[in-house]
Structure 1
Amino acid sequence: MFWSLEAFAARFFGFSDPARTPLPASVADATAWLVASGQLNIPVAETDANDVIGHRVIERGRHLARQDMWAQLSHEMREADEARKTTPCGQPLTDLLAFGARSDVVLAAEHALSDYKAVCDYDLLGGISELEGEIQNHRNDPMIALVVALAHIDLAWAWRGTAHPEALPPLHQSRCTAHFDRAAALLPGCRAAMPDSPAIAAADCALLAGHITPRTRVSDKYEALITLEPQNHRHMRAMGSHLLPRWFGSYEELEVQALRNAARTQKTWGAGGYTWVQFDAIALDDEACARVDVEYFLEGLRDIVTRRPDQQTINLLAAYCSVTLQNRMGQNPSADTAREQICAAADWLIRDHLTELHPLIWAHAANGFNNSLRVNSAERFAARGRRDALRAIANLLREELHSGQSVTFTPTGLQFSGN
Structure 2
Amino acid sequence: MATRLVRPARDLAHRIGKIARRAGRTEARAAALEQAALPLSARLHVPVLAEAPEVSIWRDMAGAYAAQAARGDWAALLGALVAADQSRSAAPGGRRLATLAAEGARAALTQAIAARDMAGAEAELARLEQMAAAQGDGYGAALIVAQAHLELGLARRSVAAEGGPGHVPWQGYLSHVAMAEAVLDPFDPIAENSPLLAATRYQLLRGLEDGERLCRDWYEDWSDLDPTCPEPHAAHGPHLLPMWYGSLEGFDAEARAAARRTEDVAGGAAYAVLNMAAAEVLGELPPGADHGLYLSGLLDYFHATGCQYRANIAAGAMAALGRTLTEEAPGSLRQRMVMEVLADHLTDNLREFHLPAWKGGTDLIHWALGEIFSQALARGDLIHLGSEGIEARPVET
TM, length-normalised to structure 2: 0.78
Would you say the 8 A contact 1:42–1:410 is kept in 2? no
Shift of 1:218: 1.2
Matched with 1:224 is 221
Provide the residue aligned with 1:402 in structure 2. Answer: 378
SS of the equivalent of 1:300 reads helix
Q: Distance in 1 between matches of 2:325 and 2:148?
A: 34
Matches within 5 A, 1:72-151: 72-112=76-116, 122=119, 125-151=122-148
Cα 1:123–1:34 shift into 2, 3 Å: closer
Q: Is the 8 A contact 1:142 1:194 kept in 2?
A: no
Whether 1:67 aligns to 2:63 is no
**How many pairs are equivalent?**
361
Q: Gaps (5+ residues) in structure 2?
A: 1-31
Structure 2 matches for 1:12-411, cutoff 5 A? 30-35=39-44, 41-43=45-47, 48-112=52-116, 122=119, 125-161=122-158, 169-170=166-167, 172-191=169-188, 195-213=192-210, 216-285=213-282, 289-305=286-302, 307-323=304-320, 340=335, 344=339, 345-354=341-350, 356-359=351-354, 362-366=355-359, 385=361, 388-390=364-366, 392-411=368-387
Q: What is the rounded CA distance, in whole Å, between the counterparts of 1:192 and 1:22 in structure 2? A: 60
Q: Does structure 2 retain, via aligned residues, the 8 Å contact 1:327–1:366?
A: no
* 1:376-411 deviation line (CA, Å, top 9, x unaligned): xxxxxxxxx467535532443122111123342223
State the distance in 2 between where 1:280 and 1:341 align: 24
In the aligned structure 1, how far is the partner of 2:83 from the partner of 2:70?
Answer: 20
The residue number in structure 2 matching 1:9 is none
Partner amino acid, structure 2, of 1:389: I
Would the aligned equivalents of 2:255 and 2:271 in 1 still touch at CA under 8 Å? yes
Report the CA distance shift for 1:139/1:246 in structure 2 as closer, same or farther (over 3 A): same
- Once residues 120 and 306 of structure 2 are traced to their aligned partners in structure 1, the CA distance between those partners, rounded to angstroms, is 49
C-alpha separation in 1, matches of 2:325 and 2:242: 18
**Runs of 5+ in structure 1 lacking a partner?**
1-11, 16-20, 24-29, 36-40, 114-118, 368-384
How far apart in 1 are the matches of 2:127 and 2:138?
A: 16
* Structure-2 change in CA distance of 1:339 and 1:75 (3 Å): farther
AA aligned to 1:401 is: L
Do the aligned partners of residues 295 and 358 (structure 1) sit closer, same or farther apart at CA in structure 2, a change above 3 Å counting? closer
In the TM superposition, residue 201 of structure 1 has moved relative to its aligned partner by 0.8
Would you say the 8 A contact 1:219–1:257 is kept in 2?
Answer: no
Q: By how many angstroms is 1:99 displaced?
A: 1.1
Distance 1:22 1:305, change over 3 A: closer
2:384–2:392 Cα contact (<8 Å) kept: yes
SS of structure 2 residue aligned to 1:216: helix
Q: Aligned with 2:227: secondary structure?
A: coil
What SS does the aligned partner of 2:384 have?
strand
Deviation track 1:305-342 (CA, whole Å, cap 9, x = no partner) reads: 55554332221111122248858998xx79xx999577
Equivalent position amino acid for 2:90 in 1: T
Measure, in 2, the Cα distance between the counterparts of 1:64 and 1:268.
Answer: 34
CA contact (8 A) 1:102 1:151 kept: yes
Higher relative contact order (CA 8 A, sep 6+): 2
CA distance in 1, matches of 2:113, 2:337: 41
CA spacing shift, 1:67–1:124, aligned 2, 3 Å: closer
Q: Secondary structure at the match of 1:289?
A: coil
How many angstroms apart in 2 are the aligned matches of 1:324 and 1:284? 15
Is the alpha carbon distance of 1:418 and 1:57 closer, same or farther for their aligned partners in structure 2, counting shifts above 3 Å?
closer
Q: Please list the CA deviations of residues 210-231 of structure 1 after superposition, one character each: whole Å capped at 9, or x if unmatched.
A: 2341663312211111111111
C-alpha distance in structure 2 between counterparts of 1:155 and 1:327, whole Å: 38
Distance 1:293 1:53, change over 3 A: same
Mapped contact 1:283–1:325 kept (Cα < 8 A)? no
- CA pair 210-308 structure 1, distance change in 2 beyond 3 A: same
Q: Percent of counterpart pairs with the same letter?
A: 23
Change (3 A) 1:343 1:418: same
Relative to its length, the structure with more helix (as a share) is: 2
CA contact (8 A) 1:42 1:408 kept: yes
State the structure with more CA Rg. Answer: 2
- Alignment partners' CA distance in 2, 1:215 and 1:47: 36
Q: Deviations over 1:333-381 (max 9, x none)?
A: 79xx999577534233213332x1142xx324328xxxxxxxxxxxxxx
The one-letter code sitting in structure 1 at the alignment partner of 2:208 is: H
Aligned to 1:116: none
CA contact (8 A) 2:43 2:383 kept: no
- Aligned-residue CA RMSD (Å): 3.5
* 8 Å contact kept, 1:236–1:273: yes
TM-score with structure 1 setting the length: 0.74
**Does the Cα contact within 8 Å between 1:329 and 1:339 map onto a contact in 2?**
no
Once the two structures are TM-superposed, the CA of residue 303 in structure 1 deviates from its matched residue by 4.1
Q: What is the rounded CA distance, in whole Å, between the counterparts of 2:310 and 2:182 in structure 1? A: 37
Counterpart Cα distance in 2 of 1:349 and 1:58: 31
Secondary structure at the aligned position of 1:408 is classed as strand
Indicate if the aligned counterparts of 1:283 and 1:324 stay in contact, CA closer than 8 A.
no
Q: What letter matches 1:93 in structure 2?
A: L
